[in-house]
Amino acid sequence: MIIASRQARNPNAMPPIFLPAQYWHLLRAITAALLLVTTAYAADSSGRRIALVIGNGNYQQPDLPKLSNPPNDAEDMARVLRGFGFEVIERKNQTLEGMSRAIAEFGSKIGGSEAALFYYAGHGIQVKNQNYLIPVNATIESEASVPYQGINVNQVLDEMDNGKSGVNIVMLDACRNNPITGKFRSGKTRGLASPGSTPKGTVIVYATDPGNVASDGTGRNGLFTAALLTAFKGKDLSLDGVLTVASSEVEQASNQAQTPYVNGPKTVQKNFHFRVTLDPGPREIEKTFWTSIERSTDATDFESYLKQYPQGSYATLAENRLTKLKADEPMKPAAAAAVSSAPPSAFDGHWAVSLVCEEVRENGVFAKGYTYNFFSDIKDGQLSGQMGQIGQPASLTIVGIIQPDGATEIHATGLTGNPEMTLDHKRKGTPYSYHMRGSFTQMLGKATRIEHRPCEATFIKN
């Protein structure tokens, strides 16, 4: 199914000063536990459901207006879909490279799944009856440049076709007027084009009819996405029921000027249901918490468990594991020496880095999200990278070790930039530091922040 609309983030933002590392480990483990339980319930009932949700609003080209709603739309849709048992890949304010990577990740996960759902909010443009989703770094000089600067919706459909998912749903909240009509010769500049051939079992939904434009809305969400969120709270959670309610909401709010467009088998719309997942009980949460850390080699994970469950079912095991890990700590220098004596790494080279930290809210304080793009180098397994000038605000330095098997440990330090990007709104130039863990192949690397706010770094070899 395809549903269409539009929305911003400051690229100069810096990570904030955060909560103690032990508290983050606790949150990380609990979150992993809840996700594992939800996934287990979904798998037990009727198969895996995978969703890719993208909201682009912080456009960089002057001819492409910034959009306030899409990041909110993506955040709210992702939250609702997780509540329906979907495994969600959530991305906001993505570059062309970022969107391509996310779609490839989506394609790698949907094989044999019960349902694959793609949602996009942001600018969308049609060229010669082809629909393109526009990344935030697009520079569109002419109609001919769109296929090279945007993501063709057919790219998503091809991934779905290859994955052979039982049901395909594509939601595009992107049917707005072409903001750069003066550069186009085709004259077809309003809204999206009608879809062509689609994979079997695919339902495509636009925010409005092909060739028409959709409203951004005046609140937190675009008009169409706001209607979907309302429909998801209704009693009829069949796809058909959700779309019927959403369409009615859109028509009423727009005084009949906008009507969502649906293309796809009616049987799929009637038979597919957004099911509410069951809430796991306390014992199940503790069990899954323990399962998520029982093979960990990080003592802090077991300290977090004992703090949360001092009389828990696995307390004795946790204490024994913690004692052993602390006893083994003197061995770490020897292990590090062994790594440093390894032959030159196959990962050596020049790597482009994209660091994405999502917006977060904690204790009533909101921190904006941000994306950093810079370069790093790996030589003899030693990673180093720099964004900005060392010692100046809005700077970031990363250093790390790439093991022969690709396992990665990274240490990040720097000085904060915009205070709005920090959880406690620290003044500009405040020092910060954190750690990341991940893995590398010879051409691609991923690392995730393991303390404080969630962040992910993607490395691509040049």
Domain ranges of the chain: 4-271, 294-340, 349-461
pTM above 0.95, yes or no: no
Residue 438 and residue 408 in contact, taking contact as beta carbons nearer than 8 Å: yes
Residue 130 and residue 193 in contact, taking contact as beta carbons nearer than 8 Å: yes
Longest dimension (CA), the chain: 72
4-271 CATH pick, 3.40.50.880, 1.20.58.760, 3.30.420.40, 3.40.50.1460: 3.40.50.1460
62 backbone φψ class: left, alpha, beta (φ>0; ψ -120 to 50) = alpha
Residues 139-158 pLDDT 10s: 888 888 888 899 999 999 99
Residue 347 and residue 438 in contact, taking contact as beta carbons nearer than 8 Å: no
Distance CA 388, CA 407 (A): 27
Distance CA 321, CA 325 (A): 6
Cα-atom radius of gyration of the chain, to the nearest Å? 23
Residues 175-195 pLDDT 10s: 655 555 544 433 344 567 767
Q: Which residues on adjacent β-strands are paired with residue 365?
A: 362
Average pLDDT over residues 89-105: 92
> In terms of DSSP H, where are the helices of 294-404?
299-308, 315-328, 332-340
Distance CA 131, CA 111 (A): 25
Tokens 């002419």 sit at which residue? Answer: 142
Judged by average pLDDT, the poorest of 93-102, 149-158, 317-326 is 317-326
Residues 258-314 pLDDT 10s: 888 899 999 999 999 998 765 545 665 666 566 657 767 778 778 878 887 888 888
Highest mean pLDDT among 83-87, 90-94, 423-427: 90-94
Tokens 């000063």 sit at which residue? Answer: 17
Domain 349-461 has CATH 2.60.40: no
